[in-house]
Chains A and B, each alone.
Chain A
């Protein structure tokens, strides 16, 4: 029998003391003898009890000494996965929005299509939590921008539920955006010849914590990501 496939589930956590234990338990539940699934929790210098909680959980705890933002935290987990010989790394949110039960499906979809990255999308079947009208408008704008630049259609460019193989991990090891990395990462894949695609995933509303994108942050978010997308495209 060949050795089991190893998947690292990177869970960035910033002040997620309410939901982190549930998410980690759900990830551990789906680990089997053929597919070893290990939660890697990246505590982004949380101010609450996240650090204490994760040290008692069945997971790999990575505690950042300073707050790096979601991108820096996810990249830490990707570095861990790559350095420790994991076959795949999957990123899910620490607030319980993404169903870990779909991780084996993501892997099958990735292998079936020979992709380097697979993205879980809320908008293929329009199931589950669909976010607010404002956010969907923003998402449609990113769709348009990405289509314009890459020619590819991505229905859910801001989705944080993604699985990548070692080729993609190696690429993101070098560079991954600090803030709001999701749409920008798609351009990085595209510019470096990585193949990616989407599969439908049913998401739920966040179970704890607050979104990093609201109020004035929204304007900054749109502006920052637009600039980042254009310049990432021009870089190579």
Chain B
């Protein structure tokens, strides 16, 4: 086992441990945890299976394996960013409704308890 392989396996496992720890403490929602666990498993898989990328690159018809890594990683990041934009839009709408409810309730409350 090469030194870099040992390092990457160790880092991947630490990362997985950290993600699982955050879920346990309830700090990371399961829907987000899913994608992080999945990426960690991919990291661990390719740490052990050193020829994995060459095999995959050949299967996809990519000449240089690192290009496959970049393409796949960038695509995954874009998809995840879109997901985050969607979440942000949803939260924006929910936030707006809450703020409006607060303003309407405050007015009702002030009417009931005049200063």
Contacts and interface: CB of A to CB of B under 8 A. Distances in A.
B82 interface: no
Interface string A222-234: 0000000000000
B113 interface: no
Interface in A25-77: 42, 60-66, 68, 72, 75-76
Contacts of B100: 64, 68, 72, 75-76, 79
B78 interface: no
Task: Give the size category of B's interface with A.
Answer: 10 to 19
A83 interface: yes
B103 A65 contact: yes
Interface string B76-115: 0000000000000000000110011011101100100000
Interface residues of A, number: 16
Contact of B95 (A61, A62, A66): A66
A3 B95 CA distance: 37
Contacts of B104: 62, 76, 79-80, 83
Contacts, number: 36
Nearest to A76: B100
B96 A42 contact: no
B30 to A, nearest CB: 29
Contacts of A68: 96, 99-100
A42 B99 CA distance: 12
A178 B96 CA distance: 9
A72 B99 contact: yes
B102 A60 contact: no
B107 A64 contact: no
Interface in B24-45: none
Contact of A61 (B99, B102, B107): B107
Contacts of B99: 64-66, 68, 72
B54 to A, nearest CB: 44
A76 B99 CA distance: 9
B107 A42 contact: no
Contacts of B96: 68, 72, 178
A64 B99 CA distance: 6
A132 to B, nearest CB: 31
A172 to B, nearest CB: 12
Contacts of B102: 64-65
Interface in B59-82: none
Nearest to A40: B107
Contacts of A83: 104
24 contacts: A60-B107, A61-B110, A62-B104, A62-B106, A62-B107, A63-B106, A64-B99, A64-B100, A64-B102, A65-B99, A65-B102, A65-B103, A66-B95, A66-B99, A68-B96, A68-B99, A72-B96, A72-B99, A75-B100, A76-B100, A76-B103, A79-B100, A79-B104, A178-B96
Given A62-B106, A66-B99, A76-B104, 10 more contacts: A42-B103, A60-B107, A61-B107, A61-B110, A63-B107, A64-B99, A68-B100, A72-B96, A72-B100, A80-B107
